[in-house]
Amino acid sequence: MSEPVSSIRNLGPAMEEACAKAGIGSAEALREMGADEAYRRLLLSGMRPHFIGYYVLVMGLQGRPWNDCKGAEKTALRVRFDALKAEMAGRSDSVPTGIERFLDQIGVVAKK
């Protein structure tokens, strides 16, 4: 039997829902893919990038409190986060957000 995503330290129902939307259905799957790949999938599913959310995920996968990230480690995580965000910003297969999502839903944006 698989464990829910929310069984991982720091991750609650909102992250579990976001992971489900991104196709990450269990804590085991999340652990196996790691924080960076999971965050890529979350961004592709339409989640807005947020540094704190990223490092909470990283800390949780390490079994550490969310606010345990400080100093040089936090700076290094920020570099990783910024690289992921930049990588995903140019992806054409990402889910539109904001007004683009609404326009897509009502059929104004051309299908890809």
Q: What is the pLDDT of residue 1?
A: 80
Q: pLDDT tens digits for 75-103?
A: 999 999 999 999 888 665 555 555 655 56
Q: What is the CATH classification number for the domain harbouring 52?
A: 1.10.150.20
CA distance 49 to 53: 8
Q: What was the pLDDT predicted at 28?
A: 97
Instruction: Please say whether the beta carbons of 95 and 44 come within 8 A.
Output: yes
Amino acid in position 103: L
Cβ atoms of residues 43 and 84 within 8 Å = yes
List pLDDT tens digits, range 70-80. Answer: 999 999 999 99
Segments forming the whole domain that contains residue 14: 5-105
Q: Are 69 and 79 in contact (CB under 8 A)?
A: no
> What total of structural domains would you count in the chain?
1
CB 74 within 8 A of CB 51: no
For 45-63, what is each residue's pLDDT tens digit? Answer: 989 999 999 999 999 999 9
pTM over 0.85? The answer is no
Place of tokens 């992250």: 15
